[in-house]
Amino acid sequence: MRFYLTAGVVIILDRLSKGWIMNNINLGDSWVLISGILDLRYIHNKGAAFGIMQGRSILFMIMAAIVVIGAVYFNQKYCPPRWPQYALGLIVGGALGNVIDRFVFGAVVDFISVGWFPVFNLADTAIVCGGILLMLWIINNEKIHSAD
């Protein structure tokens, strides 16, 4: 249940944030929140993370589908503990949030600009946080089992 609830919350927050940006900022414009540190900059990204591999939306949608199917299968088959469920829910919710953009707009809606870092969105943040949580859980789980 944690897995699906986490994914659902991520999708809802991602859709709400992107909807707000699209309704309040013109494509290509930005609002400075903290000068030189944090801006809201509305762009469309037709590539992958950091804008690489532009124009390959079908490939990214297929890759996201594989990740989502794999995570759902793993969650159903193995009933993992709480933290991997949260981690996988973050990853799946983020992946689906960006897939929705690619399907509807032909590109991902990005809007968070931090310093020199490429513009990203809440779905991207969920994917990265989920990946970090999953890695930490795996590392911690390995240490526990290797001590036996």
User: Which residues are annotated as catalytic?
Assistant: 110, 124
Helix (H, G, I), strand (E, B) or coil at 85: helix
Q: Which of 54, 31, 51 is nearest to 41 (CA)?
A: 31
Nearest to 94 by CA among 120, 118, 74: 120
Residue 117 tokens read as: 């870092």
Cβ atoms within 10 Å of 77's Cβ, excluding its own? 8
Q: Would you state the structure tokens that stand for residue 89, as one six-digit string?
A: 């829910």
Question: Cα(67)–Cα(94) distance, rounded to whole angstroms?
Answer: 11
CA dihedral sign of residues 121, 130, 132, 127:
negative
